[in-house]
Structure 1
Amino acid sequence: MIMMRRLLLALSLLCLPWITMVHAQTAAPDYDEWNKVVIRATEAIETGRASDAAMDVLRGQLEIWRDTFADASTDYSISTQTLRAQLETLGPEPESGEPEAIALQRAELKLKLSEASTPTVRAELAQSAAAELIAGVDKLRRDRHTEALMERGPLPVNPLYWGDALSTLTKSMNHVVSEVRVAWVYVRHREDFGNNIPRAVLFLLIGVVLISRGRAWTRMLEDRVRQFRTPGIRGFIIFTLSLGTVFLPLLGVYAFTESIYATNLAGLRGDQILSILPLASFLLLMSAWIGNRIFPVNEDDQQILFLPAGKRMEGRADSSLIGLAMAVNVLMTEIARFDSWSPEARSVLFFPIIVFSSFLMLRLSSLLLSHLRAINTEEGKKVYYSRAVFVSARLFQFGAIAAIVLGALGFSSAAEQLVFPAIATVQLLAFLLLLHQTLTGVVLKLMGEGLEARDKSLWPVAIAFVLVMLAIPAILLIWGVRSQEVADLYRQIGSGLRVGDVKISPREILLFFFIFGVGYALTRLLQSTMKNTVLPKTKLDVGGQNAVVSGIGYVGVFVAALLAINNTGIDLGSIALVASALSVGIGFGLQTIVSNFVSGIILLVERPIAEGDWIEVGGQMGYVRDISVRSTRIETFDRTDVIVPNSDLVAGTVTNYTRGNTVGRVIVPVGVAYGTDPRKVEAILLKVAKAHPMVLGIPSPYVVFQGFGASSLDFEIRAILRDVNWVLSVRSEMNYEIARLFAEEGIEIPFPQQDLWLRNPESLQPAARVEPVNLDQEIALDQQRQTASQPPKATPDNDGEGGVER
């Protein structure tokens, strides 16, 4: 023990100079300068008088200081961790005392640790202060943005403002023209004017050609690619080439702006317009491209929306007009900012753009709803993106109506911040849908699955998840979140979320899945090697081989998960504590599951049954097809699956007909009529049994005279079969042969007969049939009988005619 302490002391002495060197090389932040920044930032936040641009500059400085303090605290923490590790190496201080050298070393390490911890704590406090100041700047900017949205300006429908608004727009245009005239007067007298003309003309020609012919060139290439036979790759190439309708004209716009810059005719206002012109052109071109892809011209192109040709043409036109409205809005916003338009002019001039864009949004929403009605009325046209189409249609409708109402009431800023982000969001969703279908086709083709497997494969889900994750920053930016806040959000996500002593970050999550994936892949590789190469060469039966392969799989997955958790910095001790706490709940609430799990392990180890065995358990008979840790799957003879819990197989009674070998016995009962020679029957039955090829000769089959039945003499054939799985077929074939030989020998197979004696058969004679009585007929008959029984009345002439004889 003393030698060990001396060795640790020597190692500590060797490490002390290195620790001192680390402290010397770590440059401490300038806290005096930081205090000045804190005072300036606090004053700016409290007063709120600084402009947005100044606040952005201040936020950038605070971010630099925050990162500086974070790096400093990390450097210091490494030093303190080293010192703590050496103190832990020395072990706890004994109560009875320790050698003087070790005590001195312990005291020196404690002093060093105290000195190293002070800069760390100071850097962490400064980092926290910087984070709070950044949050204050962000809150101030959000409050200003909210106030701007809620601020009500002049009513654009008031005719009193229309004349001033029109004159403001005219003045802005005249200013641009005046700048060009003044610049022309000045530029044409410069010496380098002639030298710049060829450059300007060249850029102008390039711009005109790209703007006028770029789309036609792209469509020509698309028509050639359509002849390819591979659907997935063809779709990807067409999708990529179709972007040329956006970027070729956009390059032409850049060339056009460069040609104007080469002439030096652009003044201050012209420079602002030219700087924003590529963005406006991109909005117009991209909107038209999305319209052409969502509402294609050709019927053969992939249909995103199921609409007739007329409605598709309407959709393309509306989409292009929306792009035009967005481009005009961007240009007018820049002009209004540069010329400082009055609130009245802004409200009046931007309201028609809002109304026009809202009208187009309503038209497009009606087309989207027409698509939904089409797929709902026709079977087989259900598509996975129907929910996205429905959300887009409702977003268009809500945004359009709300924007018109807000704009008319004077909330111009709120109307602009509602209508154009809504348009941009729907366009982004449309682009993601197009990109998703294209990438899905490529991936499915590369994986050899084909486009028909789109609805059954998981690749479309994975691609959609990745695209949505990538689109989240764009959606945040569209709806007004500043780029600094988005970057800060992702920085926080990248640095990780601390839960107790565990830090969860994307890096840790990726590391976990990587290690677990590698471990799982190695486990599967080992299972495949053992199953196909090693185990077939051993004396283990098939059931034992399957048990070994399953055991390797369970152990491999457990070890892979353990290594992945350990390498991501998660304390296994904490997991052990949680597991021990959950053990009580598992003991009561999950008792059945744990019992089945343990029973599954027992089945894999002891192997009383194996896959392929013919067993009977709980009244169910069939073949064992799969043994898992919780249950066993049995396939019955009528091809139905019965799931039996493993605990029933371990604790209950199981009959295994094929365990170890397939030899089994068949019993064929036979009955003959009384009066038949039993020995003759015995000989015939033995002949049938011995003649069957499935019956073993040793032990030889025999016939049992079971007894005297109610209607027959009962015999049984008992024979051992080579494969008991054929017992039904063997019994059937023996019965056929017995029936044939009995017919030849005249042996009768009896059936139950009974004699019936009747004690009083006369009582079973049917009674006389009683006819139903008709009351009217009975009365008429009685009257007839009474009339016939009376004598005739006397007449004067005694002739019965009632006349008088003359």
Structure 2
Amino acid sequence: MSMISGLDRAFRRCGGAALFALALLLPLTVLAQPADPASPRARLDSIRGELTQIEASLTNPNVSDDELQRQRLRLQPLLDQLRLLTDEQVPRTEQARLRLEQLGAKPDANAPPETPDVARERDTRTKSFAEADETLKIGRATLLQAEQLQSSIGDLRRDRFAKALFAAGPSILNPEVWSTTLTAFPADLRASQFIFGDWLSVFTTALFSPRGVLVALSFLGAIALYVARARYMPRLTARLARSVDSSDRHMLYVALIRVVARTAPPALASWLIYAALNTAGLLPPRIQPVILAIVFGLALIAFVQALVDALFAPGEPQRRLASVMESTAKTVTWMASSLVIVMAIGKVFEAWLQAIAAGLTLSIIVRGVFATIFAVILIVGLYRLRDNQEIEQEACLGPYVPVDGASLGPVRILGWVVGVAVLLSLLLGYVVLATFLTEQVIWLGILAAVFVLLMQLIELGISSQLTGEGRLALTLRAGIGLRAATLQKIAVVLSGALKIVLIVVTVMLALAPWGLESTDFLTSLRAAFFGFQVGGVTVSLSSIVVAIMLFALGLAATRSLQGWLEGKFLPTTSLDTGLRNSITTAAGYVGYAAAAAVGFSSLGLSLERLTLVASALSVGIGFGLQSVVSNFVSGLILLWERPIRVGDQVLVGDAEGIVKRINVRSTEIETFDRSSVIVPNSNLVSGVVRNRVRSDRTGRVLISISVPRTLNPTEVRAMLLDAGEAHGDVLKKPPPNVLFKKLGTATMDFDLICVVGEVDIVGRVTSDLNYVIHRRLSELEVPPPGAELTVRGLEGVEHSLGEIAAAVSKEVGRRAKPASGRVSVKRSGPAPEVEEEPEEAPASPGARTEPAASGGKDESKD
């Protein structure tokens, strides 16, 4: 027992000592532990180390472009991590600050001291806030360093590109260049024979080996593809030509089918041969660029020819997508095919010179010769595209024929500039610049053709698929339950978004060969939108020009958005005209503000500086621009409250008309005599305005008539009601109504009251009803009988007048008788009749004439 107790005491002593040693070593082990690798500070320190390595690599003056590109790719994920880290650290810092502020201010020396718990909590929260704030500040500084490194890499690459592009060398007209080339040409020829002869011998030997079977099959497959293209392409063309559908959408689909059918076989055949040679190991490093240039050239030639044929369709105007004449279509097709063939052959020769390690002078001559041929073909084609006087006069005769000079004017001017620039560059020794310009002509031409095809595909394809009677539209309407109007809105929005994406991608692809990459573009946009700036404001001519250009682009984009809303999207909705105008105007305000913000951001003007400027100008605005600001605010009130809308019929003072437009400062009212009245917005808000269509747009037709008392008032009322109900524009609810307004001594007054659906048609309906009512009243009124006047006691006077008339008629007939006969005038009929009587002897002097008792006939007595 004593032994056990002794061991227990010894163990306790050792255990106590061990615990004491462990307590002493525990803080040291804690201090020796590394920081958590997942903590923001550890991630930040790791990123800073990589940025230091990238920055050290840029100090090397002989760094290559490939190394710069590699460092750029290495830097991009670091930038994304830094932006994510700072975004995560901002709310953490804000939370730490709020927790610290919850404890209140630290008491001063005269105040009672804090309790130990509060003091301990204050120290903990102060330390947390300091750490979070320090991490945030270091993160922002590191992000700035990374963005500066990205800008430095981009500047270095563009500087190297500019130096290489504008490097001056000897001109192709320099005799020393030709003499040096002729001297070194035999050696270059021997090198070509050695390299290509050796490759041909290896290739010939490989044909009789198992590898040759693969190569032979690839060549047979390529030949089969070309034969199929030559055989089935005419059949496809004839089949498409027999189609009766002549819509724009069908023509676009035919063009796309022809592009694929004409491009796919040559491209696939070229790739098949290249893949077979590469798989068989028959492409040594020096031969591979030459074969690759041949393969790429054949595919490029087929693609460009297919694009030009799809757009211009020489000889087939019925499927031509570009609105040009036949002569222009043939010239453009010839020019594009010739240019791409020259460039493809030139690339093959450049690869050959690289393979044999030819001298500089031979490379200059080869590039210069092909660039000269390219420029000559371009100039000749542009010269053939001119519009002479005969063509313009012929276009003015008969139906309208578009002359290509106006539509192709900018393209022709740019082509002339490029052609002359290529020739001048060759003469001055800038061979690299000349070659680069020739490549850009082909590249921009391909981009333009593809852009036109894709733009038409977006415009016609999406609308036809979503708004037509196609399978997709029917599925969406029947399966999902979308209405046709909703699908039309979706089609408009989707096509607009795709067009914007297409324009941005096309611009970036066009600028890519000049050294501008997508990351540069996105960085610029980020700096413009978020107002990133370094130090103070730096104002220069370039920044002002960029600001003006950005502001102009913003205005153009805003106008395009307003036109799209007003012309395409809003008409598909059921909104009234006034609300459409309010939405369009509000979009314009937002767009103008965004354009101004982007312009000021490019100048480096932050919101604080703009606030100071606005506060300095507040006094001037209060006195000098008071009316302008008042009208502007009134315009916003009109757009928001909408007491007056576009299309309303209003009366302001003595002016009455239709509201046509609500602008920033004033409102335009068109009166009924086609004149415009400009009313300040403040007058409409603070003044008295009579709006005839405020609640609805129904109109009231009032026709007042007066009829004689002889008519039956019930029949008049029925006639008026029937005329109002028979008109198609008169509403059935409420129905027309007739009021018996007044009963006079000789007349009765009635009012016909009708309601029409639109106030604009009140005048036309009133006119139509007046015509109908006038015709119906004419049928109701009985015409009065004619008055007769009888006078008695004048029979003797009537008899005497008859005898006098008969005697006068007899005397006139006797004097007018010709020598061959006698003419008598009879008045018994409605018109006098003249007849000839046979010749008889003249009457004796004793003869006399007596009137007949009836007074209606003349008789002669002997």
Q: TM-score, with normalisation over the residues of structure 1? A: 0.63
Report the alpha carbon displacement of residue 394 of structure 1 after superposing the two structures with TM.
Answer: 1.3
SS at 1:300 equivalent? helix
Equivalent in the alignment of 1:489: 520
Aligned position for 2:822: none
1:271 CA drift (Å): 1.6
Residue 96 of structure 2 is matched in structure 1 by: 83
Amino acid across the alignment from 1:300: Q
What SS is found at the alignment partner of 2:318? coil
Alignment of 1:503-514 (within 5 A): none
Residue of structure 1 equivalent to 2:743: 702
Correspondence list, 1:559-708, <5 A: 587-589=626-628, 591-592=630-631, 604=643, 651=687, 666=704, 684-685=708-709, 687=711, 692-693=716-717, 694=720, 701-703=742-744
Cα offset for 1:700? 5.5
**How far apart are 1:358 and its partner, in Å?**
0.4
The verdict on how the C-alpha distance between 1:662 and 1:188 changes in structure 2, with shifts beyond 3 A counting, is closer
> 1: CA distance between counterparts of 2:135 and 2:94?
14
Q: Which residue of 1 aligns with 2:436?
A: 417
In the alignment, is the contact (CA less than 8 A) between 1:395 and 1:422 conserved in 2? no
The answer to whether 1:125 aligns with 2:141 is yes
The offset of 1:115, in angstroms, is: 0.7
Instruction: Give the 5 Å matches for 1:138-153.
Output: 138-153=154-169
Residues 697 and 257 of structure 1: CA distance in aligned 2, closer, same or farther (over 3 Å): closer
Give yes or no for the alignment of 1:155 onto 2:190: no
- Where 2:46 maps in the other structure, the secondary structure is coil
Specify which of 354, 373, 377 is matched with residue 371 of structure 2: 354
* Matched-pair contact (CA < 8 Å) for 2:324–2:403: no
Mark the CA change 1:579 to 1:382 in structure 2 (over 3 Å): closer, same or farther.
farther
Residue identity matched to 2:250: R
1:432 counterpart = 2:451: yes
**Which of 182, 204, 211 does residue 198 from structure 2 map onto?**
182
SS for the counterpart of 1:692 is: helix
Question: Could you tell me which amino acid in structure 1 is paired with residue 166 of structure 2?
Answer: M
1:721-736 to 2 correspondence within 5 Å? 721-723=752-754, 733=774
Find the counterpart in structure 1 of residue 510 from structure 2: 475
How far does residue 575 in structure 1 lie from its aligned partner after superposition? 13
Aligned to 2:5: none
- Contact kept? 2:711, 2:781, Cα under 8 Å: no
1:616–1:717: structure 2 CA closer, same or farther, 3 Å change rule? Answer: farther
SS at match of 1:355: helix
State how many pairs are aligned: 644
Cα distance change of structure 1 residues 468 and 602 upon mapping to structure 2, 3 Å threshold: closer
The 5-angstrom pairing of residues 113-512 of structure 1 reads 113-162=129-178, 164-165=180-181, 172=188, 174-183=190-199, 194-214=209-229, 216-228=231-243, 229=245, 231-241=247-257, 242-293=259-310, 294-302=312-320, 304=322, 306-308=324-326, 312-370=329-387, 378=395, 389-443=408-462, 445-446=464-465, 465-478=500-513, 480-481=514-515, 485-492=516-523, 495=526, 497-499=528-530
Alignment of structure 1 residues 519-534 onto 2, 5 Å:
none
CA–CA separation in structure 2 for the residues paired with 1:92 and 1:717:
93
Counterpart CA distance in 2 for 1:33 and 1:658 is 68
SS at match of 2:287: helix
More deviation, 113-122/596-605:
596-605
Q: Distance in 2 between matches of 1:141 and 1:658?
A: 65
Distance in structure 2 (CA, Å) of the matches to 1:205 and 1:652: 89
Residue 522 of structure 2 aligns to which amino acid in structure 1?
R
Percent of aligned pairs with the same amino acid: 13
Runs (5+) with no aligned partner, structure 2: 1-35, 470-491, 534-549, 551-557, 594-605, 722-736, 756-761, 788-862
CA–CA distance in structure 2, aligned partners of residues 372 and 87 of structure 1: 85
Aligned partners of 1:625, 1:383: CA distance in 2, in Å? 39
- 1:404, distance to aligned residue in structure 2 (A): 1.1
* Higher RCO (CA 8 Å, separation ≥ 6 residues): 1
Deviates more, 1:249-258 or 1:419-428: 419-428
Once the two structures are TM-superposed, the CA of residue 327 in structure 1 deviates from its matched residue by: 0.8
- State the SS of the aligned residue for 1:268: coil
Query: Aligned pair in 2 of structure 1 residues 225, 578: CA closer, same or farther (>3 Å)?
Result: farther
Cross-structure match for 2:601: none
Q: How does 1:52-63 map to 2 (within 5 A)?
A: 52-63=65-76
Aligned 8 A contact 1:701 1:720 in 2: no
Give, in whole Å, the separation in 1 of the partners of 2:94 and 2:775. Answer: 85
How far apart are residue 691 of structure 1 and its match?
5.2
For 1:661 and 1:150, the matched residues in 2 are separated by 74
Seen in structure 2, the aligned counterparts of structure 1 residues 421 and 603 have a Cα distance that, compared at 3 Å, is closer
Tell me, in whole angstroms, the C-alpha distance in 1 between the residues paired with 2:352 and 2:290: 7
Conservation of the 8 A alpha-carbon contact between 1:183 and 1:264: no
Give the partner amino acid of 1:201.
Answer: A
Change (3 A) 1:687 1:83: same
Q: CA deviation at 1:405?
A: 2.0
CA shift in 2, pair 1:26/1:82, >3 Å: farther
Letter of the 1:389 partner, please give it.
L
SS at match of 1:701: strand
Which deviates the most, 216-225 or 469-478? 216-225
Q: Sort the Cα spacing of 1:437 and 1:387 in 2 relative to 1 into closer, same or farther, 3 A.
A: farther
Task: Call closer, same or farther: CA 1:635–1:171 in 2, change over 3 Å.
Answer: same
Question: What is the DSSP-based 3-state SS (H/G/I as helix, E as strand, rest coil) of the residue aligned with 1:50?
Answer: coil
Instruction: Kindly provide the amino acid, as one letter, of the partner of residue 702 in structure 1.
Output: L
Secondary structure of residue in 2 paired with 1:254: helix
Per-residue deviation, 1:252: 0.6
Q: Look up the SS of the partner of 1:408 in the other structure.
A: helix
Q: Hey, what's the Cα distance between the residues in 2 that align with 1:222 and 1:667?
A: 73
Q: Which runs of 5+ in 1 are unaligned?
A: 1-18, 451-456, 506-511, 532-545, 566-570, 669-682, 705-714, 747-806
Which has the larger displacement, 124-133 or 179-188?
179-188
Match of residue 73 from structure 1 = 86
What letter is aligned with 2:716? H
Following superposition, the deviation at residue 415 of structure 1 comes to 1.7
Question: Could you say if the C-alpha distance between residues 106 and 366 of structure 1 is closer, same or farther in structure 2, counting changes exceeding 3 Å?
Answer: farther
- Tell me, in whole angstroms, the C-alpha distance in 1 between the residues paired with 2:289 and 2:186: 17
Distance 2:51 2:634 in 1: 64
CA contact (8 A) 2:103 2:122 kept: yes
| Separation in structure 1 between the aligned mates of residue 511 and residue 647 of structure 2, nearest angstrom | 56
- 8 Å Cα contact 1:315-1:367 kept in structure 2: no
Give, in whole Å, the separation in 1 of the partners of 2:169 and 2:583.
71
Q: For the residues of structure 1 that align with 2:738 and 2:331, how far apart are their CA atoms?
A: 88
Equivalent-residue separation in structure 2 for 1:235 and 1:166 (angstroms) = 54
Q: Which residue of 2 aligns with 1:778?
A: none
Decide whether the 8 Å contact of 1:366 with 1:393 is kept in 2: no
Paired residue secondary structure (1:243): helix
Amino acid at match of 1:57: R
Relative to structure 2, which stretch is displaced further, 579-588 or 468-477?
Answer: 579-588
| Distance (Å, rounded) in 1 between the aligned partners of 2:782 and 2:372 | 100
Aligned runs of 1:21-60 on 2, under 5 Å? 23=40, 28-29=45-46, 31-32=48-49, 34-42=51-59, 44=60, 48-60=61-73
For the 8 Å contact 1:257–1:274, the answer to whether it is kept is yes
Summarize deviations over 1:773-800 as a string: whole Å, max 9, x none. xxxxxxxxxxxxxxxxxxxxxxxxxxxx
